[in-house]
Structure formats: structure tokens, C-alpha cells
Amino acid sequence: MPLVDGSAWALLRELDDPVHLEFPRDYDHGVERARFERLVVGLARRFGCACAVDRNVQDASHHGDVGVPAGATAGGEPITVRVSNFGGMAVVSLGLPGGGDEREEPALFDGGDRRAVEEELGVLGYRVIPRRLLRERYDGVVPFPGGATWWIRFFDYL
């Protein structure tokens, strides 16, 4: 389920570790990959389609993306879920994450589409982070040269 701002900020700061940039100390890739694959299957079942999946992520703080094609959604917009390597966090957006066309404003989402995605994430223990918080300037414990955003810290390539 989506976290409210205060809870999301607390989680982001709790997970921010200057030693572990790509994944947390206790990260188990096999366990996280299995959970991610269950998400892919669940979204495909919910939307009655084959989802586009990016599993080939390296040098990044995120695990992968699952894309529901526009033709399978009630709102007629593609939906992308990006899963972080940290804390079971996920971001839900219309369009492609990081591609400049992503939008998360709830008014733009078809209510049933958003609920279906959030229910699948919730069943698997993922926590939805509001994308707007991740656009904020990163002021955590990792010294990023030239600055960064919270998106880069937990949901992008490093």
C-alpha cells in the first residue's frame, strides 16, 4: 500500500546507508528475484496481458521494472512499476520511469488500474513510495558528486 509522506520519509532515511549503495547489507537476490517474478505474474494475471519486464539491471539501486501495456489498462495508459533493492519499496507511474514522461498524479490514473497494481504490490509486501518525494534533492548520508535526488539514491542507476 502507498505510504503517507511522513512514513515514506522515515523509511527512506532509515534505509540510507553510506556503505551499501546498490543493495542493503542483508539483501538476498534470490529471494527478491522470486518476489519480483511473483509481481510480474500477478500483474499479468490482473490485467490479462503479457507485461514488459526489465530484469537486466546492474550498477543500480533498483531491481527491475514491470510494464503493463496501455491496451491492457482501463485508463488506456501504460503503467510501470519500478522495484527498489531497498526495503521492498516500489514506485507506480504512468509512462516509463526516468524517461521524462512518467506521471503519478492520482487523478490521471484510472481508479481500478491503480487499485489493481497496489493490491498486487501489497500482497507481496511492497511499499509504494510517492514519486513526488523522490524528486526532492537528496540530503542523505552518501556523498553524491554534483548532487542527486532520492530517486537516484533508491530507484535508478548509480
The three cell numbers of residue 29 are 537476490
pTM above 0.75, yes or no: yes
pLDDT category at 104 given cuts 50, 70, 90 is: low
| Per-residue confidence (pLDDT) for residue 95, from 0 to 100 | 79
- DSSP letter assigned to residue 156: S
- Is the alpha carbon torsion for 142, 56, 39, 108 positive or negative? positive
- Three-state DSSP state, 35: helix
What is the pLDDT averaged over residues 25-52?
A: 97
- Selected residue with higher pLDDT from 128 and 3: 128
Element containing residue 111 per DSSP (H, E): helix 111-123
Of these ranges, 7-21, 85-99, 101-115, the one predicted with the greatest mean pLDDT is 7-21
User: How far, CA to CA in Å, does 78 sit from each of 83, 102, 121?
Assistant: 16, 10, 17
